[in-house]
Amino acid sequence: TMPSIFSYQSAEVDWCEGNFERSPVIAEYYNTVPSNPSHSVSLSTLQARQVSGSTEPAWLQLCLLLAGIFSMYFHMTLSYVGQLLDELSILWSLAVAYSFWYPKVYFPRFIKSRQHFFWLSGATTVVTTLMSFVKPALNAYALNCIALHLLYLTWRELKKCQDRRVHRMAAVMVMWWVLAISSWLSDRWLCGLWQAINFPYFHSFWHVLIALSLLYLCPLVIYFDVNYEMPSFRPKLGYWPSDSWPIVVPYIALEEPHKQC
């Protein structure tokens, strides 16, 4: 008989870490408990809300928080429902980010306003959501491909930007992403090797590394958005607690230029 979609290990995907080795109720302990900080990245979008004075970033905060919770649920149960919730929460987080912060200069010609783009993004996301049920095992690969478009947009924006701090932040973001996707692919494609040496934990590294990449990507998106939507302000990148620390929390400060009478 077909297993329940809520049952443990009913998902189409199983990661390299051994199941139920450290807990009778948690399928993948290291993928579940210590390695799901993606919801903490939602804190970085709080600054976007403070900078823009809008409520849009609150939606992204909520989506990222749910993505972290659903990721933990998926790795705890390896259930079919958990897999879809994990993947769809990421898809909808990306949809929210694109809807509100995709630069207008890159809109298709037939899109005349942000509201039109919002509806286009929503319709595309609904169709993609329905398609994700066809072959769920391919969903994660498709979601990772969206990162290539984000990298392309970042490259386009950096060509217009002369601020070395922005280029530095983008370089660090790309470094964390390369390490993250390398860990993800290594867990999928070289699992036999890691199990042979008793170190099947690269997917847990993925959770940490992709969260670090997002921690740098979010301020970059805010920086470019301020340049487009708030031209009377000059955004400035900063690092807390200090530029000299090896791991920092990036942030955006706004400098309002003096207006000439």
User: Does 203 show up as a binding residue in the annotation?
Assistant: yes
- 19 annotated among ligand-binding-site residues: yes
Per the listing, tokens 């199941």 go with: 19
- Is 36 annotated as ligand-binding? no
- The burial class, CB within 10 Å (0-12 / 13-18 / 19+), for 6 is exposed
Query: How many other CB atoms are found less than 10 A from the CB of residue 28?
Result: 27
The answer on whether 198 is annotated among ligand-binding residues is no
Residue 39 labeled ligand binder:
no
258 is in an annotated binding site: no
Burial class (CB in 10 A: 0-12, 13-18, 19+), 100: buried
**Residue 227 annotated as lining a ligand binding site:** no
C-alpha 44 chain-centroid distance: 12
Which helix (H) or strand (E) segment is 234 a member of?
strand 234-240
Q: Is 255 annotated as a binding residue?
A: no
**Alpha carbons 220 and 217: distance in angstroms, whole number:** 5
Binding residues: 14-15, 17, 19, 28, 75, 203, 207
Binding residues for Zn(2+): 75, 203, 207
Binding residues for Ca(2+): 14-15, 17, 19, 28
